[in-house]
Amino acid sequence: MTAFVSFIQTFAVWIFLLCGLGILLAIKMLVDAQRLSRTTLFSLDQERASEQTYRALIVLVVFFIAIIFVAAINLILAPVVPSGTPAILRGPTPTLAPMVLGTATRAPTATFTPAPIANTPLVTSVPVTATIARTATRPPLPPPAPATATVAYVFPAPKPTGPVPNGGTWSGEGQANAAITFRWTCDQCALGANDWYEVVITYVDKSGVSRTIAGRSQEKFLSLRKILDGGAPEIYQKAKEDTFQWFVQIKRDPTNMPLSPPSEVWKFVWK
């Protein structure tokens, strides 16, 4: 079923063009039959015109049914059938923010200025007092705050749309593999040949260790089955409280450079 739906989606435009040509041919047959019916006086030609009219109507009905059938598959069946390109696993690359270290300023030291001693012709000695002048000191300025690194993204963050509901529960290994398909929207995201949507799934295993798996697609959806078939470790019944979180981000090869912020984090429960 998945291969059939994928075939219809791939060649839908050509099928519509073929049906359009068939409808034009049927209309021409119908016009020719009507012209023959009006211009001939012989019963044999009248009968032949009637048969041609009947055949033209049958061709019209067949091509109209084909158009309705292909449109129904694209609009109704295709969104619920999991599909996607093979996922390429690549873990997220940590980025380090540059740090600016503040330099300590040395406080100025106080200076002592002794007053000069004046000599007088008096016989008796005069006690000499020294005055100490202090220069005003300014408290040291606080060190500058570390500069934060800013990243200029090419695309906005994708918006998750499925699987719904957010935080929903799926039971059984086979059911989740078939039913869980991660979907998102990003109307302003026109990916290049080396750009990918990367779906990142995180969870805490039974021993309390954080785990991460990821898969990639150039479509706006990626099934859980594709991620696991791409070489990811089996995660069924290995998460603490059976809870998994996921988000999607746009990356560019070969440097794995992020082109968008991470999307909103959604979660699902797989028992």
Asked if 181 contacts 223 with a C-beta cutoff of 8 angstroms, the reply is: yes
CATH of domain 159-270: 2.60.40
231-240: pLDDT as tens digits: 667 787 788 8
Q: Where are the domains of the chain?
A: 2-80, 159-270
pLDDT in tens, 102-137: 555 555 555 555 555 555 554 455 555 555 556 556
Q: Which tens digit of pLDDT belongs to each residue from 172-223?
A: 777 677 779 999 999 999 999 999 999 999 999 988 999 999 999 999 999 9
CB-neighbour burial class of residue 224 (10 A; exposed 0-12, middle 13-18, buried 19+): buried
Q: What distance in Å separates the CA atoms of residue 129 and residue 127, rounded to the nearest whole number? A: 7
> Could you tell me which of 170, 177, 161 has the C-alpha nearest to residue 248?
161
Decide: residue 216, CB within 10 A, 0-12 exposed, 13-18 middle, 19+ buried.
buried
Tokens of 160: 């998750």
Q: What is the mean pLDDT of the chain?
A: 80
**pLDDT over 80 at 7, yes or no:** yes
